[in-house]
Amino acid sequence: MPKSVHDGHRQRTREEFLRNGFDIDTPPHKMVEMLLFYSTPRKDTNDMAHELFNRFGTLSALLSATPEQITAVKGIGNNTVCLLEFIKMFNKIAYFEQKKKVLKVDKTFDDFYEFLSVQYFALNREEFSMATFKGNGKLINWQVLQVGTLTEVNVSLRNIIEIALKEQASSVIIAHNHPGGDALPSPEDVLMTKNISKGLGNIGVGLLDHVIFCDDDYISMRQSRAYREYFVKDAND
């Protein structure tokens, strides 16, 4: 089969990347163009890369875009959406593997909030997750329990309790996100927190926090006086 007229350009770009890599000064559209090499074969991806970057403005905004927003750009199909989603998930799982053995909750919980911020970055669907901790505050496990729509997710208290018992947790942090909204707790969030706190308390497990994310913002409910009664002070409490 004859080679595409663009094969030479793609090969040169790959070789340049392997020699020099990309850094913060690399033009973003150049990075997007190389990404499109792997989702859009046998086409000139330069114009599409410029269009994507012009449409979304930053790489983080591109990663945060919905499939419908991405495929609205001429020439961009589901292969590109799939590749972007794969890149996000690959990065998050690798980050979790790196952090799992060293993560623990201390007085500020800052390290764990940073970890959660990475996991909830660029999500355009609602996800509810749970982290379990030993008595010394060290992380046992973190996992996504439920995936919802853009506006809601259903959470099983029974599932949360079963996991806490199975993993012999002393304490738990729960988290979810509000895509396209704000990070303020809704009345439903407050009721859910109250019920989970009570259910965990019945088996001797403390609820440390309920963290709500929205875009680059998050709210820790334990840090609000209005909700403090639902949370224990630390992992040993």
What is the signed CA dihedral for 87, 214, 68, 35, rounded to 10 degrees? -20
Return the pLDDT at 204.
97
Q: How far apart are the first and last CA of the chain?
A: 68
Task: Quote the pLDDT of residue 2.
Answer: 46
Q: Express each pLDDT in 152-192 by its tens digit.
A: 677 899 999 999 999 999 999 999 999 888 899 999 999 99
Q: What is the dihedral of CA 126, 218, 191, 106, to 10 degrees?
A: 120
Query: 208, 171 in Cβ contact below 8 A?
Result: yes
Which whole number is the average pLDDT over 99-112? Answer: 87
Instruction: Report yes or no: 145 and 160 within 8 Å, Cβ to Cβ.
Output: yes
Question: Can you give the pLDDT at residue 185?
Answer: 95
pTM score of the predicted model: 0.82
Residue 1: pLDDT above 50? Answer: no
Largest CA distance in the chain: 70
Residue-averaged pLDDT of the chain: 90
Per-residue confidence (pLDDT) for residue 197, from 0 to 100: 97
